[in-house]
């Protein structure tokens, strides 16, 4: 029987997962820019635990194509529904905001837009081009959806050549159907392979722990990513957004995360971020070297 949030009791968070409240001038400045330009961030929509640290350092992961997703992944706090029409002015607004914030490295992500023929890939490409026109010298990481496995849509990302392209498998193979619902484990691996084949120098993926996976399954996921030539791996603790989301099976200790980092590096990943609070774009600027 599948485990759901209603089937299990919530586990109390350990001390190492306590989060500081937002504060500071840099945090406030980033927040003002985001609100002024009507931007969305995965920091807010995804309830990221690193929002305080990243915004306090003057960085943010911008989310394009709205803040309503067409998928209903059981781990994700982003709202599911009908996203409505695409805002064709968004690429320019994002580019102008990057300039105002003085960012040197930009992470862009998006909701899934399965309602669009191109999966939103045209806006994706336009956003990257607009950022580069307005911000010469800026480097980019794009955290992309799977575009339903349509190679033409993935190619639009390859064509604009972000320095890093990331696509998360999120969890181990066995749990994918329960956790990601409309996604497919093998399809995600295929997308990652296409990126590398297309000439993207640095590809990246991430997994969450504490959802009921076994250690052997974690190592299998690492091996699968390396077989598809993924360079960078992020490993973090899954945090249940609400009682209606997928339950936390356990909290992985900091020592375990440190050991998983060593294992992943030994398997050939160039960079590994592994810790309870790690998320996809955590310390993203460090992965350019």
pLDDT in tens, 234-265: 999 999 989 999 999 999 999 999 999 999 99
Instruction: Tell me the CB-side half-sphere exposure of residue 76, using CA atoms within 13 A.
Output: 24
Other C-beta atoms lying within 10 Å of the C-beta of residue 197:
11
> Does residue 199 register a pLDDT over 80?
yes
Task: For residues 182-210, give the mean pLDDT.
Answer: 97
153 falls in which pLDDT band (50, 70, 90)?
very high
Task: For residues 49-66, give the mean pLDDT.
Answer: 64
Angle between helices 185-197 and 215-227 (to 10 degrees): 30
pTM (two decimals):
0.85
Let me know if 183 is exposed, middle or buried by CB neighbors in 10 A (0-12, 13-18, 19+). buried
The CA distance from 210 to 239, in Å, is 8
The CA distance from 277 to 275, in Å, is 6
The CA distance from 206 to 187, in Å, is 15
Domains and CATH numbers, the chain: 25-288 (3.20.20.70)
The CA distance from 160 to 18, in Å, is 39
**Residue 68 vs residues 29, 40, 71, 114: alpha-carbon distances, Å:** 25, 10, 9, 11
């Amino acid at each position: 029987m599948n485990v759901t949030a209603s089937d299990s009791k919530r586990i109390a968070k350990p001390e190492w997962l306590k989060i500081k409240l937002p504060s500071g001038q840099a945090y406030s400045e980033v927040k003002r820019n985001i609100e002024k330009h009507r931007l969305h961030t995965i920091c807010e929509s995804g309830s990221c635990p690193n929002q305080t640290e990243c915004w306090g350092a003057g960085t943010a992961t911008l989310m394009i194509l709205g803040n309503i997703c067409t998928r209903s992944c059981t781990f994700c706090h982003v709202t599911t529904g009908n996203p409505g029409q695409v805002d064709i002015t968004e690429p320019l607004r994002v580019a102008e905001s990057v300039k105002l914030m003085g960012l040197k490295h930009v992470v862009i992500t998006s909701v899934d837009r399965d309602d669009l023929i191109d999966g939103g890939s045209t806006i994706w490409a336009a956003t990257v081009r607009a950022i580069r026109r307005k911000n010469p010298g800026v480097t980019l990481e794009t955290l992309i959806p799977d575009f339903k496995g349509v190679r033409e849509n993935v190619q639009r990302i390859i064509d604009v050549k972000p320095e890093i392209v990331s696509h998360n498998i999120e969890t181990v193979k066995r749990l994918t159907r329960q956790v990601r619902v409309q996604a497919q484990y093998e399809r995600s691996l295929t997308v990652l392979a296409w990126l590398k084949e297309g000439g993207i120098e640095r590809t990246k993926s991430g997994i969450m722990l504490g959802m009921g996976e076994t250690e052997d399954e974690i190592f299998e996921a690492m091996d699968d990513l390396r077989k598809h030539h993924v360079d960078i791996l992020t490993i973090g603790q899954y945090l249940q957004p609400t009682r209606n989301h997928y339950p936390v099976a356990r909290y992985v200790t900091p020592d375990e995360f440190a050991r998983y980092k060593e294992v992943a590096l030994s398997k050939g990943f160039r960079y590994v971020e592994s810790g309870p609070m790690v998320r996809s774009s955590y310390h993203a600027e460090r992965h350019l070297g």
